[in-house]
Amino acid sequence: MALTREQMAQRVAREMQDGYYVNLGIGIPTLVANYIPDGMEVMLQSENGLLGMGPFPTEETIDADMINAGKQTVTARIGASIFNSAESFAMIRGGHVDLTVLGAFEVDVEGNIASWMIPGKLVKGMGGAMDLVAGADNIIVIMTHASKDGESKLLAKCSLPLTGAGCIKRVLTDLAYLEIENGAFVLKERAPGVSVEEIVAKTAGKLIVPDHVPEMQFAAQ
């Protein structure tokens, strides 16, 4: 079975380490915050200028002046700091954020990522994504492996305008966890019940399949 959005978030949460500063993108990446293991302390960075994002507010504490980069109302946790946008991207570009998790339309075997526009159809804008992928060393892309029509999003070469070139090394899809090495995807883990054959069929870019591909493990909740 393909992973649900929650399972994808849960798997990525396993990459957290105690004391990490983490930037979570909009969409599935935001859900990762729900699965940070107990007893582990992580500070979430939101690029509109908040380090130490807390849970969503209650009806009583909701505040229009307190939002995250997805424009959702949030709170600040103890130990948080708030700053301007230039400061926020100084910490991102300067490589001070330990882990960045973001979504994408496409990735390819050279580590290129496309996530901000589909020419003639959709223009969202890049927001902070170009700065995030350029500034971070440790990036995980979360995406669906193929489109609804079954077309692979893991390509030999991205077809859409790029967000960043040669910057992605790790990808979690609803079918597999893969790493990008020497111009190929390397299949590291498969989703429970998903066959290697299905992953091969849905990966358009060069894919290296080791002799043994373990099933993904989920921490007991």
Partner 1 sequence: MAGFDKRVYSYEEAMAGLEDGMTVIAGGFGLCGIPENLIAEIKRKGTRDLTVVSNNCGVDGFGLGVLLTDRQISKVIASYVGENKLFEEQLLKGEIEVILTPQGTLAEKMRAGGAGIPAFFTATGVGTPVAEGKEVREFKGRKYLMEESITGDFAIVKGWKADHFGNVVYRHTAQNFNPLAATAGKITVVEVEEIVEPGELDPTQIHTPGIYVDRVICGTFEKRIEQRTIRK
Please tell me the distance from the alpha carbon of residue 122 to that of residue 118, in angstroms, as a whole number.
5
Residue 2 binds to partner 1 (criterion: CB under 8 A): no
* Residue 193 structure tokens: 């019940």
Does residue 65 interact with partner 1 by CB under 8 A? yes
Q: At closest approach, how far in Å is the CB of 140 from partner 1?
A: 19
Please count the residues of this chain forming the interface with partner 1, following the rule CB under 8 A: 53
Q: Out of 49, 105, 170, 199, name the contact with partner 1 by CB under 8 A.
A: 49
d(CA 15, CA 99): 9
How far is the C-alpha of 169 from the C-alpha of 202, rounded, in Å? 19
- According to the binding rule CB under 8 A, does residue 127 interact with partner 1? yes
Q: What's the CA gap between 170 and 140, in Å, rounded?
A: 5
Beta strand spans in 116-190 (E): 117-118, 122-123, 139-142, 154-155, 170-172, 176-181, 184-190
Contact range with partner 1 by CB under 8 A, out of 16-24, 71-79, 149-157, 191-199: 71-79
Q: Does 189 bind partner 1 (CB under 8 A)?
A: no
Q: Which of the residues are catalytic?
A: 47
Interface ranges with partner 1 (CB under 8 A):
46-50, 55-59, 62-74, 76, 82-86, 88-89, 92-93, 112, 116, 120, 123-131, 134-135, 161-166
